[in-house]
Structure 1
Amino acid sequence: MLSLTDLPFAADVHPEARPAARLTWDSREAGPEVAFVALPGEQMHGNAFVEQALSRGAPFVLTDLDVERAVRVADAREALFSWARSERRRNGLVVGITGSVGKTTAKSYVAAALGAHFMPVYNTLPAIACFLLEFGASEKPLVVEMGIDRRGEMRELVDLVRPDVGVITSIGAAHLEALGSLEGVAQEKGVILEAPRRLVSTQAASWFPGVATYGFGDATWAGEALQVGPDGAAFRFQGVDVNLEHAARAQAEAAVLALALAEQAGLNLSEAASRLAQVSVPGGRYQVLPGRFTVIDDTYNASPLSVRAALDALNAFTGRRLSVLGQMLELGEHEAGLHAEVGNYAREQADLTYGVGPFAAQLGERAFRTVPELLAVLESEVRNGDVILVKASRGISWSLERRAQEGVGLDSVVKALLDWREAK
């Protein structure tokens, strides 16, 4: 419970304010055990929702307003972060994970191996602060995904999370509009390596010489005898056999990271490997959906590095291989060339290639302006035994007006494929 005594900031505590199990910035989540913090927003201040939170029974509200059950402070955002840092210091092991791709997958595997609490997908600074408040005092480790899309953001995250272990999964062309170049990406993400212990993937190793690495081949922490096929990935780590159903090389590398951290923590590796076999990564992140034809749902996000990895995974399957690719966002002035490079790679790895939206012609031999136009053709071309990879940046849902005209994004392609599969 979040006690209201000995707060790490100056506050006037209303006599009816009560301890809470956790804190939220979304008044709709407030309740008898969930308190509310009134944060400034881009369009509206959280103070506008204080009464709603109180009416839902919030034990207290963190705000600058003089209201019932208020924990009244001069700056609710700074108070939240100060409180989060205080609770985080009570935890013995916090792992921070960043990278251009693979953060969520790595987080899921590391949390399973360590038996840790981990951040959900929504990982803004306030969300991480609320997570640290809820679980900072836990005896379990914490695993925090630390994604950035602007300069200076990793500094803010590191100052809040203070990870004991800093991990970089990859460095690639992502958020180039804000970060400028691969050098800018590496510089910004590299701030996480101020952590006392540091690990980077073999893919990112050239950007951070001297830092311990994980992966396969020439790595400080290396998996051995990797085998990847249609049914999944298998390898050995420190003599322990690891089997990951419906996984590709990227998931196997995340599993190596997880087992390296488990060994450093003194955990039983066989038991940790068993937990890895049960990992379920959130939707849209390389989910293999088998049936009379197999669908690979990788629609959550896309960058050149992640699309290439997904195409490599597709190539390991037997049967006719189809790629359905959409626009990759935030690539800056080089976006046309990067889409062309990915499209050329798709033509090498897949038997049929489809592109949709901007850069459709670069991404696929068969190009379509909109998702409905793509679906009208794709339905008649999919056969039993095919393997279809669907991948694009999730931001291509576009505006409401364009959604009606062009479809909701490539997640709608996955849904259509699954519907067709069930209907026949």
Structure 2
Amino acid sequence: MEISELYKIFEQHPVVTTDSRDCPQGSIFFALKGASFNGNAFAAKAIEQGCAYAVVDEQEYAPQGDERFILTDDCLKTLQRLANYHRCHLGTKIIGITGTNGKTTTKELVAAVLEKKYNVLYTQGNFNNDIGVPKTLLRLKPEHEIAVVEMGASHPGDIKTLVDIVEPDCGIITNVGRAHLQGFGSFEGVIKTKGELYDYIRDKGGFVFIHNENKYLQGIAEGLQLVKYGTTTDDSSLEVCGEVMECAPFLKFRWNHRQGGWHEVQTHLIGSYNVYNMLAAACIGIYFNVSEEDVSEALREYIPTNNRSQLEVTGSNKLIVDTYNANPTSMRAALENFRDMAVSPKMAILGDMRELGEVSGEEHQKVVDFLMENNISNVWLVGEEFGKTKCHYRKFADVDEVKAEIAAHKPEGYYILIKGSNGIKLFQLPEML
């Protein structure tokens, strides 16, 4: 079936699902495949559960003469083509966001700012891969004035695949860092892949928002129209400039537009590094004519979720929870901020950083070296990679060992930083602390 024909069906049934356990009445089921499942086998169940149509890519699952089953070459590619067709049909202005760290927080901040003036669609959660991105685009409605679409990557070419689906009008790379090195092969591979967003926008003649002090981004931004933000207060080329005022423990910062009047913002985010995410959102808001007062109000009101830079106050401790993910760049930023926080006593529970490949040992040793050099003394290290490091800190094989220790000897009265890759499962600890 041609995409134009499938789109006519989508216009009558504008909800898609890829999960046979979640089949809204009248929706379209796409039978995707994974390493351990074949969605085709659930197509009939999806129809029974309420889907109007099921898109399959294996003949045996498309009963002869039953028009509810649509046979295609490749369900995932068809989903992506449908999403792109829908995006082009509506013509909504789209801001593409990628980066090693901060892209989800920046996406949410940008959406919060733009919602002061526009009807905004934005990526929910971290639906930022080759399945999540098309599903986001297919949620676009004619009433949406702007969309903010997050794009993630763990291998070369991932961002190119996504930008070809999204066709963003403008974009932002929050930063580039040492993450997913096992998939990218090297830090240079990270930069090249994230830069695929710049490549697309350069070819399209669009523009990008850029952190002006980031030398890696500047190095790949040649030939692009740049809308700049940063923390160099005497740089007249910046659209938005700002600086950290304090972190005690929440970030307080101030910003201005084109060296105009200062706006002070007390945020609900932990970490001085979040000033760049805040300034990015302010810069994008200003570019799209959101008033300076509304920008500041949106940034003040934003409260983080999903275990990202959150402060949780329990009956025993104050927890800085950042357990969604970890890589050398984000770990260093979190530890620098923790070192500089004017609070005491402090404690850190750190979990392994995953997917670092052959440099994993070196990068974990760098973390413990930083801890020792900066006299951060009360530290628990969790996981196999931290277990191999040379240091005097307490080591735990996994989160279950940590939970057993907390049950026996719970720390009390501390500010505790909890950070590690999601797979280490440190997100299970806050309820015990």
TM-score (norm 1): 0.85
State the match for 1:322 in structure 2: 347
Structure 2: distance between partners of 1:26 and 1:201:
39
- Segment drifting more, 322-331 vs 249-258: 249-258
State the match for 2:19 in structure 1: 26
State the match for 1:58 in structure 2: 51
Match status 1:309 vs 2:333: yes
- Segment drifting more, 38-47 vs 63-72: 63-72
Structure 2: distance between partners of 1:24 and 1:287:
31
State the match for 2:255 in structure 1: 236
State the match for 1:205 in structure 2: 215
CA contact (8 A) 2:210 2:229 kept: yes
Question: How do residues 178-193 of structure 1 correspond to structure 2 at under 5 angstroms?
Answer: 178-193=183-198
- Segment drifting more, 257-266 vs 312-321: 312-321
Question: How do residues 165-180 of structure 1 correspond to structure 2 at under 5 angstroms?
Answer: 165-180=170-185
Tell me which amino acid in the other structure corresponds to 2:291. N
Structure 2: distance between partners of 1:179 and 1:159:
20
Structure 1: distance between partners of 2:50 and 2:111:
32
Tell me which amino acid in the other structure corresponds to 1:48. A
- Segment drifting more, 257-266 vs 83-92: 83-92
Secondary structure class of the residue paired with 2:168: coil
Structure 1: distance between partners of 2:81 and 2:130:
12
Gap change, CA 1:199 and 1:50, over 3 Å in 2 = same
2:429 to 402, 408, 413: 413
Tell me which amino acid in the other structure corresponds to 2:98. T
Structure 2: distance between partners of 1:119 and 1:222:
25
Superimposed CA distance per residue, residues 256-280 of structure 1 (whole angstroms, 9 cap, x where no aligned partner) = 1111111111122211321222323
Deviation of 1:18 after TM superposition, in Å, equals 8.4
Structure 1: distance between partners of 2:358 and 2:290:
47
Structure 2: distance between partners of 1:208 and 1:393:
29
RMSD of aligned Cα (Å): 2.6
Matched length: 397
State the match for 1:129 in structure 2: 134
Secondary structure class of the residue paired with 1:125: coil
Structure 2: distance between partners of 1:372 and 1:411:
12
State the match for 1:149 in structure 2: 154
CA contact (8 A) 1:11 1:73 kept: no
State the match for 1:215 in structure 2: 230
- Segment drifting more, 316-325 vs 353-362: 353-362
Gap change, CA 1:372 and 1:42, over 3 Å in 2 = closer
CA contact (8 A) 2:25 2:50 kept: yes
Superimposed CA distance per residue, residues 332-361 of structure 1 (whole angstroms, 9 cap, x where no aligned partner) = 211111111111223316341211221335
- Segment drifting more, 342-351 vs 122-131: 342-351
Structure 1: distance between partners of 2:110 and 2:361:
36
Secondary structure class of the residue paired with 1:135: coil
Question: How do residues 13-412 of structure 1 correspond to structure 2 at under 5 angstroms?
Answer: 19-64=12-57, 65-66=62-63, 67-89=66-88, 90-115=90-115, 116-120=120-124, 121-135=126-140, 137-193=142-198, 194-195=200-201, 196-202=206-212, 204-209=214-219, 210=222, 212-217=227-232, 220-234=238-252, 235-238=254-257, 239=261, 240-291=263-314, 292-315=316-339, 316-347=341-372, 348=374, 350-361=376-387, 362=389, 365-378=393-406, 380=409, 382-384=411-413, 386-396=414-424, 409-412=425-428
Secondary structure class of the residue paired with 1:330: coil
Give the percent of matched residue pairs that are identical in Structure 1 and Structure 2: 27
Deviation of 1:202 after TM superposition, in Å, equals 4.7
State the match for 1:402 in structure 2: none
CA contact (8 A) 2:113 2:295 kept: yes
TM-score (norm 2): 0.84
Deviation of 1:33 after TM superposition, in Å, equals 4.3
Deviation of 1:11 after TM superposition, in Å, equals 5.2
Structure 2: distance between partners of 1:349 and 1:146:
37
Structure 2: distance between partners of 1:13 and 1:212:
39
Tell me which amino acid in the other structure corresponds to 1:335. S
Tell me which amino acid in the other structure corresponds to 1:198. V
CA contact (8 A) 2:268 2:302 kept: no
Tell me which amino acid in the other structure corresponds to 1:253. Y
Deviation of 1:377 after TM superposition, in Å, equals 4.0
Structure 2: distance between partners of 1:230 and 1:44:
48
Superimposed CA distance per residue, residues 52-108 of structure 1 (whole angstroms, 9 cap, x where no aligned partner) = 111111132233524353344444333322221122122432111111111111111
Deviation of 1:10 after TM superposition, in Å, equals 4.8
Superimposed CA distance per residue, residues 381-420 of structure 1 (whole angstroms, 9 cap, x where no aligned partner) = 6232x11001111123xxxxxxxxxxxx211222321xxx
Structure 2: distance between partners of 1:91 and 1:351:
55
Tell me which amino acid in the other structure corresponds to 1:327. D
Gap change, CA 1:69 and 1:12, over 3 Å in 2 = farther
CA contact (8 A) 1:285 1:297 kept: yes
Structure 2: distance between partners of 1:376 and 1:111:
41
State the match for 1:403 in structure 2: none
Gap change, CA 1:301 and 1:84, over 3 Å in 2 = same
Deviation of 1:373 after TM superposition, in Å, equals 3.1
Secondary structure class of the residue paired with 1:28: coil
Tell me which amino acid in the other structure corresponds to 1:83. L
Gap change, CA 1:203 and 1:236, over 3 Å in 2 = closer
Gap change, CA 1:203 and 1:145, over 3 Å in 2 = farther
Structure 2: distance between partners of 1:263 and 1:50:
47
Structure 2: distance between partners of 1:131 and 1:117:
8
Secondary structure class of the residue paired with 2:40: helix
Structure 1: distance between partners of 2:177 and 2:400:
31
